[in-house]
Structure 1
C-alpha cells in the first residue's frame, strides 16, 4: 500500500480502512474506491463513531475529463443529516451537519429535490 495513504488512514480520523483498501496504490484509486462505495466513511458524534456511510455526490461533483476531482452530498441517517465530501484526491470525510446547513447547501447547489429526500420540507417557509 502507498505509505502516504497508509499514514493518512492511520492519522486521520475521518478515513477508515475497509476490505479492498490493501490493493489501493495511490490517491486517485482511493478516491475512486470512495466514489464507488468500496470504502465507507465513518460518521462521528463528537468522539464516538455512530455509523459508516457511502459517499454521496448528490449536491455536486466535479470532473476534469474522466478524472473525479471533488464533490459533496447529503444523506439522512436516522434523525441526523450527514454531509459527505471529497475535498481533493485522497481525502474524503463524512460528518453530522445541522438541518439549517443542509438547507443552505441544497439551496446553494440548487438540488431542491433533496428537500423531499431528506424530509426537510417542513423547515421551509412558504
Structure 2
C-alpha cells in the first residue's frame, strides 16, 4: 500500500464502517468481545477514507465484529478487578449505540482527490505540502 497520512482520530458509528473485503486473517470474535467487555477498547481501528465511499476498516476488522456482536443497548456484564466491580468496558452498563474509536487515514495518492472533495469540519484547517495533506484542529 502507498504511504498514508493520519487525518483524525474519532469515535465512529459502526454502521458507517465497511469491513476490508480481502481480510486474510481469522479472529475469535467472541474472545475479542470478552476482552473488550473486561478491558474496553485500547487500540483504535485503522480506517481508510476513500472519496465517495464508506470508511473501510484496514486493521481491526474482528474488533469491529466483536463490537457489533455486543449490539445496541446496555448489558449486565461486570468484572471484578482488585476487589472493585466494574461495568462492561464496551457499554459501561448504559444504553449504547455501536461505535468504535478509529484512526482515519488517507492514502497519499488520494491527497489530490481529498484536497478537492474533503469537507472540513468547522474546527479543522487543511494544509498541503510536499505531496502530503494535513488536517489540523483550529486553535480556539
| TM-score (ref. length: structure 1) | 0.28
Q: Say which one has the larger Rg.
A: 2
Whose RCO is larger (CA < 8 A, sep 6+)?
2
TM-score (normalizing by structure 2):
0.27
